[in-house]
Amino acid sequence: MKIHTFRLKPGQDLKIGIEQFVAENDIQAGFIITCVAGLEQATLRMAGAVPNKQDIRTYKGDYELTSLAGTVSINGIHLHMSISNRECQSFGGHLKEGTIIHPTAEIVIGEDESVIYTRELDEETSFPELKVETI
């Protein structure tokens, strides 16, 4: 297993930044070990989504990213996050572009070098779902 640690800076988009890091480092089968971050904006897709009906919400203000989990690969990422506001209210959903970092994001990704993650359209869910291939 390989470990990758990096930081994203103020104003960067969390999802895009992770995708760029994964591409630059040719990560075939990665997973989030940990992430701590502050956000000035969070964009999430709410639970219950189907391809033609997605409830995507953007929250502006000061948030702490309290949890980030999921899989990452050059073939696609699938990440969920939880955030909390100044009143310690927490909520979360599927990470979307438009999640803006302030002041920092510290991210650690593990990489399993014995497999490759790809995505295939699943007829049951109508979403591209994880497929694991052994090398």
Q: What is the pLDDT of residue 105?
A: 98
- Measured distance CA(129)–CA(76) in Å, rounded: 10
pTM of the model: 0.96
pLDDT in tens, 2-49: 999 999 999 999 999 999 999 999 999 999 999 999 999 999 999 999
Residues with Cβ within 8 Å of 88's Cβ and at least 6 positions away in sequence, in order, are: none
Q: What is the pLDDT of residue 115?
A: 98
In DSSP notation, 37-103 reads EEEEEEEEEPTT-BTTB--EEEEEEEEEEEEEEEEEETTEEEEEEEEE-TT--EEEEEE-S--EEEE
Query: Cis (ω within 30 of 0) for the bond into 51?
Result: no
Q: What percent of the chain has pLDDT over 70?
A: 100
